Structure formats: structure tokens, C-alpha cells
């Protein structure tokens, strides 16, 4: 029987982390090298953790399916990273960042974790600046900031439109230094396909070498997963193509509870899909909403080009409905309103699947040059993709899946329900509740990797001094290797497949987007729960995987991932069905205010829903971690 103990330290919120750091067990410096730690993933969370653990003296093995650690999905983040530095003297503080994050998460996150996140945010900026991250600066040489995603203070640090790239390069370079020093062994193009558990504790992983197809095991004293989010369950998302849920899902199947899988974030400003061939969606930075006005034609049958439609025939729906926040309402509110107008038949573009984001007013007010200085890169990118010039015609945008707040359940130490198995970054559920604030994912990934895990992992390892990692010829390892090898080989050995992996992934995405996307209801979710298993069965029978398992085979890599998404999608729908309230990114149509805003049900749902695996084709069991709000008072969000 699993019991969820979040291990939240005693004491006032502002002292919990310090108290905890003092009370955790330590591994003395000379003994650290006697411990081996496996880190899976080299995004912000994984690279920062691996480098920091190695600096402390641990022996680290790091795994990534990319050819270089620098290619992790984190590289694509554009906007920025939050930190409570209060360099602008505008009233920011650790407490305010904490408060904003709990509120922004719609009161579904754990207060103690969020406060720690806000506390260490300031150290992250110091660390990154010292590593040479070229943050934007003022003429005086000090760091520049901007306000992001509707925040009332300017606490976002950025490096042009490439903040994720620069932060990741900082962490990657720190990692490279440790690799050169022999403290970290890098296994690139290595697909981690299982977690090995012996006597209830994580002891290692099973890996497929993507160049040779060889399946082998690695053992260690502890295993850290930093494998990113599950946004690609929707097929179309802003995530990198290879982002997937496999490592987390396999851990779940080995006993790690999966928390809040129904939470996913939709980003309001992405380029709408242009056709069936569309492989992914591209995000246009949220900063565009500072100057762009969002509208659709009032007339559903409008045929004129946007420039010919007079102002009074345009529906500036955000400005009309939310006079005080206007186009700057939070992501979820902006997204749902776009969906509403498109569903009403007011969509624009050849497929009527977008809304206008119009810069004509800004260009008339400030001049094209000013707009170019602010958004030139983004406008160029838009034109490259769509072939339209946004200085002349309004951009077309539509919401897309962007980030996933759910993930492996972890305690305050970032340990999952399997002792010795940790989860960091987007792959855990910990800090964003039901909705993440802009520029807070980069902060969390680096907080986990640089400043949390290096302290908390010692607590688990210290008592194990002298224990050797389980040798990989142990029967549990051999059994796990065989299972992975058999699973992988079955795809290429069967004949008579009818459809490609891509086809099934796209079909799955359609179901999940339709019934478990921006708005959800009981009937739709029930439908998803019957359609997903049916699709899964058909997929397993009819998917066509060509080529050999003994060498590079990109389809084979993908089929395992889609297979896991097929199981994960069902859990996601089940979680969404059970959570009969609206909160943050989870909007249940049954639970809304008379004005159509999300309505929480704190009485019944102020908990983390964590699911326990019960075997294939058997519904998971729900466990609840009740959330206690001792510092932030629960209120209904309002942006009117």
C-alpha cells in the first residue's frame, strides 16, 4: 500500500528550506566518490543536476537520446526566466514570487515547494551570469528585466529571444567541464526504456543504444529522471518532435505514482496548423500580446481581407470581455476565448482555425521601425513559416499545447514513490499546480538541478555508505533487459502492418485534443476512455515498422514512445474525468461561473491526484495528497 508522505519540513514557510538543509543527512566529501548516480536527460534539469552532483564528487553517468546534450528540448525556450531579484525596485520579493506562483497555479501546488523555488531563484541568476550566460543588459552594464505573462513586476531575465538556449548552453558547458574532468560519463544516443527496481528501491536503468540497437543495463545507487514533459501526447504541440513520456511512464509502471496527468498548458499565441502534413506547432512569443490586438470578424461569413474590415465590424473579444487586462489576460483565459470564437465559426485563415493578432495600431502609433526593433525576429520567423508579412497583414494565431504541469509525484526531496528514484524539471509535478506562469519552467528546471537535488540526494545516500550498486548480471537486471529487448524486437518482427507509427500518433492526438484539450466534459472524456484503448489495440496489431532493430531505426525509436503515449493518454483522460472542477489549465465545462470562467471546487478537489499502476489494461488507483494553504488565501481568480 502506497502512502504519500510529502516530507514537508516543520517551521514557518520562509524557514522550511533552511531547516531542512540543516537536518538532512550529509555524505562527507571524501565519501561522495563512493556513490554512483544515474541522471537521465540533459535538458536544464538534467544537465544542471549532473554537473552539480559531479562537482560535489559523486560519480555520475548521464544519458540522453540526443546526439549531443545541448540539443535537449529546453534549447527552444524563448521568453525568459523568472527570479525574485527585485533589481527593478518595483516591489518584488521572494514572498511575492511565491504568492504569484501559488495563485497562478490556481491553488493546486504545494506551498512549501513553491516557496523554496522562489528562494533559490535568485541563486540561479547568479550562477548563470557567472557561467557566462549572455543575459540582456542595460547600458550601465547591469542586467535587464522585463515583465512577462501578465506579471505585475519586472522579474524576467532574458537573452534575446533565446533564453532557453543560453541557459542550456551554460548547463551543458558545466557538464562538458565535468565530462572532461572524468567525473561524468556521457551516454548519448541512448534511449532509456526501463527503470530497474529491486527490493523496492531504484537500482538502475535499461538502455537501448540507438546506433547499434544493443540493449544493456546500468546500475547505480540512485536514479534521477529529468526527461521532460508529455505534451506530445497531443501529437501537435510546441514541444520538440522527440519529447516523450517513456522514461516517466516506465517508472510509473514500476511503481512510481503519476500525479495530475490531466494538467496541461495551452499557449495562446502559436501559428495555426496549415494542413494534415503539419508535424508540429510553432510558438510565437507571448510578448507579442503587449502590442498586438486580438480580434475576429463579427460576421461569421466574412470574406473580405482583414484590412478591409472596418473597426466596428471587428470583434476584439478580449478587450471587450476583460476591459482591465484586455489582450494580456493569462494564458488559459486567452486560449479558451480563442477556442470559443473559432468554435462559433468566426475563425480566420483558409481553414478558419485562427484568430488575428494585429499590429496595425502599434505600427501606426510607434512606427514600423519601433515594432521591428521589438519583434523583428518573431516577425521574420512568422513570415518564413507562413509566407505572409505581418507588417502588412495581421498574424494568424491559435492556442497550442505547450507545457505539462503533471508528472511523476515527488516529495519535498524530489524523490518519487520509489525510493532512490528522483524526478526533476518538467517530468515531475511539483511546483506549478494546475497552471504554470510564463518564465517559470526554466526557473524550476534549474532550481531542481542546481540547488535542490544536490542537497536532498545525500539524505537517501548517506546511510548506504559501503553498499555496492547491484551488479547488472543480477536476475532483476537480466529480466528487465530481456523484457525491453523483446518489446523492441516484436515491432519489427511482425508482418502485415497497415499504417505507420506517425498515423497512429496523429490519430491519438486528435482524440486527446478533442476530448481532453482546452475544454473537457464528462461525455467527451467517457468517449476518450473508450476510444483510446480501442486505438491502442489497433495500433499494436496493425502498426508497420520497417527495417532492422540492430542499428539506427528512427521508426523503431518512435513506436516504443507512441506505445507508451497510448497508455498514458488513457490515464490522462481518467484523471480529467475524475477531477470534476475547473482549475488552471484543466477546464471542465460542467464547472464554470455564470460568466464562463473556470470555477474551482476547493471543498472537494484541493489535493494532488496521484495514480498507482495496477498492471496493463487495469485502471489505476487514485491516491490523494491533500494540499494545505497556510500562507496564501484561496480566492477565485478574476481578470475582469
Ligand X SMILES: Cc1cc2nc3c(=O)[nH]c(=O)nc-3n(C[C@H](O)[C@H](O)[C@H](O)COP(=O)(O)OP(=O)(O)OC[C@H]3O[C@@H](n4cnc5c(N)ncnc54)[C@H](O)[C@@H]3O)c2cc1C
- From the CB of 133, what's the least distance to another protein, in Å? 8
The one segment of 86-94, 137-145, 222-230, 519-527 that binds ligand X by CB under 6 A: 222-230
Q: For the chain, how are helix, strand and coil distributed in percent, rounded to 5? A: 40, 15, 40
The smaller minimum CB distance to another protein, of residues 453 and 598, is found at 453
In angstroms, what is the C-alpha Rg of the chain? Answer: 24
Q: Which of 235, 254, 368, 348 is nearest to 301 (CA)?
A: 348
The partner in contact with residue 165, picked from ligand X, another protein, none with C-beta cut-offs of 5 to 8 angstroms by kind, is: another protein
Window 408-427: contact mask with another protein (x via CB under 8 A): --------------------
Q: Is residue 185 part of the contact set for another protein (CB under 8 A)? A: no
Closest CA to 264 of 434, 410, 444: 434
Which of ligand X, another protein, none binds 204 (CB below 5-8 Å, type-dependent)?
none
From 272-280, 417-425, 518-526, 607-615, span contacting another protein (CB under 8 A): 272-280
Task: Work out which of 309, 441, 453, 556 binds ligand X, going by CB under 6 A.
Answer: 441
Closest contact distance (angstroms) between CB of 238 and another protein is 8
- Reference 150, options 326, 309, 405; nearest CA is 326
In the complex, least distance from residue 589 CB atom to ligand X, rounded to whole angstroms = 27
CB of 76 to ligand X, least distance (A): 4
Q: Rule CB under 8 A: which of 217-236 touch another protein? A: none
Name the nearest CA neighbour of 409 among 612, 265, 197, 583.
612
Q: Smallest gap, in angstroms, from Cβ of residue 496 to ligand X?
A: 29
Residue among 283, 397, 408, 545 that touches ligand X (CB under 6 A): 283
If 0-12 CB within 10 Å is exposed, 13-18 middle and 19+ buried, where does residue 303 land?
Answer: exposed
Contacts of 77 (CB under 8 A, 6+ apart): 163, 164, 165, 167, 441, 442
Q: How far apart are CA 437 and CA 442, in angstroms?
A: 11
- Can residue 226 be called a binding residue for ligand X (CB under 6 A)? yes
* Contact letters for ligand X, residues 50-89 (x by CB under 6 A): -------------xxxx-----xxx-xxxxxx--------
Residues 535-574 that bind ligand X (CB under 6 A): none
Tally of CB atoms within 10 A around 503: 15
Ramachandran class of 409: left when φ > 0, alpha when ψ lies in -120 to 50, beta otherwise: beta
Residue range at the interface with another protein (CB under 8 A); choices 178-186, 330-338, 426-434, 459-467: 178-186
Burial of 1 (0-12, 13-18, 19+ CB in 10 A): exposed
The neighbour count for residue 442, using CB atoms within 10 Å, is 28
Site for ligand X in 173-202 (CB under 6 A): 190-192
Report what 407 binds from ligand X, another protein, none; CB cut-off 5-8 Å by kind.
Answer: none
Smallest separation, CB 210 to ligand X (Å): 9
For another protein, what does the binding mask look like between residues 368 and 407, x meaning CB under 8 A? -------------x--xxxx--------------------
Bridge partners of residue 156, in order along the sequence: 82, 146
Name which of ligand X, another protein, none residue 159 binds, using a CB cut-off of 5 to 8 Å depending on partner kind.
another protein
420 makes contact, choosing from ligand X, another protein, none, with CB < 5 to 8 Å by partner type, with: none
Sheet containing strand 314-315, edge to edge, reads 265-270, 395-403, 355-358, 293-297, 314-315
To the nearest whole angstrom, how small is the minimum distance from the Cβ of residue 309 to ligand X? 31
Q: Among all chains, which residue has been given the C-alpha cell 499494436? A: 540
User: How far is Cα 460 from Cα 456, in angstroms, rounded to an integer?
Assistant: 8
Partner that binds at residue 445, options another protein, ligand X, none, CB closer than 5 to 8 Å by kind: ligand X
Shortest distance in whole angstroms from residue 4 CB to ligand X: 22
Which of another protein, ligand X, none does 573 bind, CB closer than 5 to 8 A by kind?
A: none
- Provide the 3-class DSSP secondary structure of residue 586: strand
Q: Cβ of residue 505: shortest distance to ligand X, in angstroms? A: 16
Q: Strands 184-187 and 156-157, how do they pair?
A: unpaired
- Restricting to residues 394-413, which ones interact with ligand X according to CB under 6 A? 402-403
Nearer to another protein by Cβ, of 106 and 557: the residue is 557
Residue 600 is a binding residue for ligand X (CB under 6 A): no
d(CA 81, CA 401): 20
Could you tell me whether strands 201-209 and 190-198 are parallel, antiparallel, or unpaired per DSSP bridges?
antiparallel
Of the pair 109, 440, the CB lying nearest ligand X is at 440
Find the binder of ligand X among 6, 39, 40, 583 (CB under 6 A). 40
> Residues 70, 314, 331, 396: which is the catalytic one?
331
**Beta-ladder partners of 397:** 355
What is the Cα–Cα distance from 461 to 408, expressed in whole angstroms?
A: 21
Residue 453-492 contact track with another protein, rule CB under 8 A, x = bound: -x--------------------------------------
How far is 182 from 43, CA to CA, in rounded Å?
A: 20
Do residues 143 and 129 make contact, with C-beta atoms less than 8 angstroms apart?
Answer: yes
Q: Which does 247 bind (CB under 5 to 8 A by kind): ligand X, another protein, none?
A: ligand X
Is 164 one of the binding residues for ligand X (CB under 6 A)? yes
Strand order in the sheet with 215-219: 190-198, 201-209, 215-219
Binding segment (CB under 8 A) for another protein, from list 99-107, 175-183, 250-258, 333-341: 175-183
Shortest distance (Å) from residue 585 CB to ligand X: 14
Q: Which of residues 540-579 bind another protein (CB under 8 A)?
A: 544, 546-547, 551-555
Maximum distance among all alpha carbons in the chain? 77
Q: Does 136 bind another protein (CB under 8 A)?
A: yes
Asked if residues 256 and 202 have their Cβ atoms less than 8 Å apart, the reply is no
What is the pattern of x (binds another protein, CB under 8 A) and - over residues 93-132? ------------------------------x-xxxxxxxx
Rounded to 5 degrees, φ, ψ at 402 are -135, -35
Concerning whether 70 is annotated as a catalytic residue, the answer is no
Residues 6+ positions from 384 with CB-CB distance below 8 Å = none
123 makes contact, choosing from another protein, ligand X, none, with CB < 5 to 8 Å by partner type, with: another protein
Residues 6+ apart with CB under 8 A from 158: 79, 80, 81, 135, 136, 144, 146
Contacted entry of ligand X, another protein, none for residue 169, CB cut-off 5 to 8 Å set by kind: another protein
Instruction: Name, in order, each residue with C-beta under 8 angstroms of 528's C-beta and a sequence gap of 6 or more.
Output: 511, 512, 514, 515, 516, 569, 570, 573
Of 276 and 473, nearer to another protein (C-beta) is 276
The catalytic site residues sit at 331
Which residues sit at the interface with ligand X, rule CB under 6 A?
Answer: 40-46, 63-66, 72-74, 76-81, 163-164, 190-192, 226-228, 238-239, 243-244, 246-247, 283, 402-403, 425-427, 439-442, 445
Amino acid at each position: 500500500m502506497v502512502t504519500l508522505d510529502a516530507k514537508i519540513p516543520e517551521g514557518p514557510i520562509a524557514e522550511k528550506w533552511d531547516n531542512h538543509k540543516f537536518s538532512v543527512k550529509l555524505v562527507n566529501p571524501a565519501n561522495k566518490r563512493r556513490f554512483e548516480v544515474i541522471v537521465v536527460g540533459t535538458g536544464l534539469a538534467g544537465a544542471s543536476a549532473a554537473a552539480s552532483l559531479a562537482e560535489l564528487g559523486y560519480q555520475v553517468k548521464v544519458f540522453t537520446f540526443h546526439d549531443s546534450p545541448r540539443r535537449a528540448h529546453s534549447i527552444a525556450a524563448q521568453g525568459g526566466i523568472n527570479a525574485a531579484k527585485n533589481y527593478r525596485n518595483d516591489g518584488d520579493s521572494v514572498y511575492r514570487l511565491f504568492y504569484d506562483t501559488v495563485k497562478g497555479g490556481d491553488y493546486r501546488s504545494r506551498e512549501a515547494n513553491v516557496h523554496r523555488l522562489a528562494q533559490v531563484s535568485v541563486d540561479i541568476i547568479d550562477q548563470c551570469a557567472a557561467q557566462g550566460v549572455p543575459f540582456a543588459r542595460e547600458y550601465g552594464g547591469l542586467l535587464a528585466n522585463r515583465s512577462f505573462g501578465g506579471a505585475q513586476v519586472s522579474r524576467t531575465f532574458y537573452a534575446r529571444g533565446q533564453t532557453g538556449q543560453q541557459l542550456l548552453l551554460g548547463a551543458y558547458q558545466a557538464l562538458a567541464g565535468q565530462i572532461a574532468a572524468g567525473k561524468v560519463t556521457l551516454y548519448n544516443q541512448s534511449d532509456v526504456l526501463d527503470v530497474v527496481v529491486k527490493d523496492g528501491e531504484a537500482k538502475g536503468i535499461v538502455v537501448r543504444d540507438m546506433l547499434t540497437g544493443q540493449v544493456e543495463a546500468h546500475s547505480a545507487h540512485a536514479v534521477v529522471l529529468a526527461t521532460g514533459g508529455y505534451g506530445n501526447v497531443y501529437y501537435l504541440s510546441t514541444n520538440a518532435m522527440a519529447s516523450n513520456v517513456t522514461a516517466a511512464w516506465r517508472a510509473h509502471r514500476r511503481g512510481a505514482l503519476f500525479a495530475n496527468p490531466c494538467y496541461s498548458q495551452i499557449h495562446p499565441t502559436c501559428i495555426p496548423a496549415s494542413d494534415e502534413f503539419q508535424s508540429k506547432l510553432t510558438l510565437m512569443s507571448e510578448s507579442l500580446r503587449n502590442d498586438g490586438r486580438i480580434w475576429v470578424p463579427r460576421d461569421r461569413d466574412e470574406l473580405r481581407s482583414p484590412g478591409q474590415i472596418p473597426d466596428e465590424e471587428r470583434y476584439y473579444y478580449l478587450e471587450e470581455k476583460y476591459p482591465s487586462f484586455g489582450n494580456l489576460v493569462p494564458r488559459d483565459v486567452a486560449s479558451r476565448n480563442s477556442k470559443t470564437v473559432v468554435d462559433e465559426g468566426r475563425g480566420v485563415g483558409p481553414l478558419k482555425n485562427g484568430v488575428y493578432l494585429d499590429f496595425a495600431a502599434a505600427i501606426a502609433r510607434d512606427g514600423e521601425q519601433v515594432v521591428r526593433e521589438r519583434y523583428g525576429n518573431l516577425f521574420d520567423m512568422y513570415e518564413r513559416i507562413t509566407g505572409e508579412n505581418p507588417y502588412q497583414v495581421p498574424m494568424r494565431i491559435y492556442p497550442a499545447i505547450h507545457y505539462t504541469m503533471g508528472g511523476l509525484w515527488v516529495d519535498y526531496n524530489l524523490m518519487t514513490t520509489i525510493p532512490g528514484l528522483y524526478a526533476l524539471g518538467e517530468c515531475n509535478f511539483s511546483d506549478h499546480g494546475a497552471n504554470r506562469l510564463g518564465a517559470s519552467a526554466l526557473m524550476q528546471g534549474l532550481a531542481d538541478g542546481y540547488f535542490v537535488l544536490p542537497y536532498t540526494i545525500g539524505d537517501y545516500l548517506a546511510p548506504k555508505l559501503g553498499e555496492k550498486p547491484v551488479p547488472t548480471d543480477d536476475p532483476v537486471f537480466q529480466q528487465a533487459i530481456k523484457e525491453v529487448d523483446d518489446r523492441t524486437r516484436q515491432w519489427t518482427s511482425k508482418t502485415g502492418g497497415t499504417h505507420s507509427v506517425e498515423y497512429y500518433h496523429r490519430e491519438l492526438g486528435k482524440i486527446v485534443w478533442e476530448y481532453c484539450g482546452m475544454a473537457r466534459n464528462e461525455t467527451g472524456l467517457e468517449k476518450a476512455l473508450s476510444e483510446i484503448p480501442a486505438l491502442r489495440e489497433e495500433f499494436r496489431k496493425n502498426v508497420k515498422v520497417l527495417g532492422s532493430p540492430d542499428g539506427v531505426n528512427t521508426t523503431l525509436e518512435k513506436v516504443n514512445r507512441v506505445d507508451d503515449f497510448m497508455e498514458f493518454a488513457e490515464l490522462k483522460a481518467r484523471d480529467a474525468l475524475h477531477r470534476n472542477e475547473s482549475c488552471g489549465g484543466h477546464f471542465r465545462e460542467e464547472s464554470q461561473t455564470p460568466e464562463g470562467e473556470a470555477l474551482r471546487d476547493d471543498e472537494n478537489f484541493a489535493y494532488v491526484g496521484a495514480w498507482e499502476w495496477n498492471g496493463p489494461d487495469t485502471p489505476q488507483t487514485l491516491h490523494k495528497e491533500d494540499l494545505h494553504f497556510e500562507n496564501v488565501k484561496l480566492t477565485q481568480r478574476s481578470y475582469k
